[in-house]
Amino acid sequence: MGVLSGRVALVTGASSGIGEGAALALAEAGAKVAVNGRRAERLAALVAKIEAAGGTAFMLPGDMTDEDQASRIVADAAAHFGRLDILVNSAGVVRMGSIEESDPAEWRAVIDVNLMASYYPCRAAIPIMKAQGQGDIVNISSTAGRRASAFVSSYTASKHALNAMTEALRREVGALGIRVCVIEPGATVSEVYDSLPDPAQRDFMREHVTKAGAMAAEDVAAAILFAVGLPRRANVTEILIQPTSDVVAR
């Protein structure tokens, strides 16, 4: 019996990267897992993989940047499994370029995915977890939420905002038995570069997240398991996790 046996998790952004790794790790630890993302075929393959390993999973494709869809997906996850103990918000996107030459519509789209697509499911999950008397919310941010970098302004702004929202939420719901944690990974192998329209930017980001020593999705998933596996009286509020090799030579 896994350490999370009897618990139910919803993972957004689960069609690839950290979200996929989180779903696999939570299922292996015994949780029943609802997986969300925009690519239904990827979610179906993930559910099949979890079930083949003896776990329980359910796919809920949809767009978390849409408030109505996000609310429905959270409600459907809780209805399908009878409760909702863990929410992992992992959807994310990056765009590159200067502020001067940026497209405001693209900027808003990054904010929608990296901030609003976590805000909406958080908001929908609180009443469910409040009624249960407990729950865990884990938001996946980035080291970009701690330090700003040039030419990724929308990304770093969205991650700073996500960090602030997560801490505000923790202060609001801790007395209700709901724990809230933000995890800030450094370079982690993923497909985040794949949607970048500019080939040079795509190659740059691909090299960054696949460089020697970059973390794997399961490394971040291990941090998630640590946060949600502690005794209820303990709330790990923030985890910064970086590749071991990301150090400055002296």
Give catalytic residue positions.
155
Shortest CA distance to 109 belongs to which of 74, 141, 155?
A: 155
**In contact, 189 and 215? CB cutoff 8 Å:** yes
Q: Which residues contact 52 (CB under 8 A, 6 or more apart)?
A: none
CA angle 88–219–86, rounded 5-degree value = 20
Distances (CA, A) of 63 to 27, 74, 178: 23, 12, 25
Residue count of the chain: 250
Is 213:244 a contact under the CB 8 Å cutoff?
yes
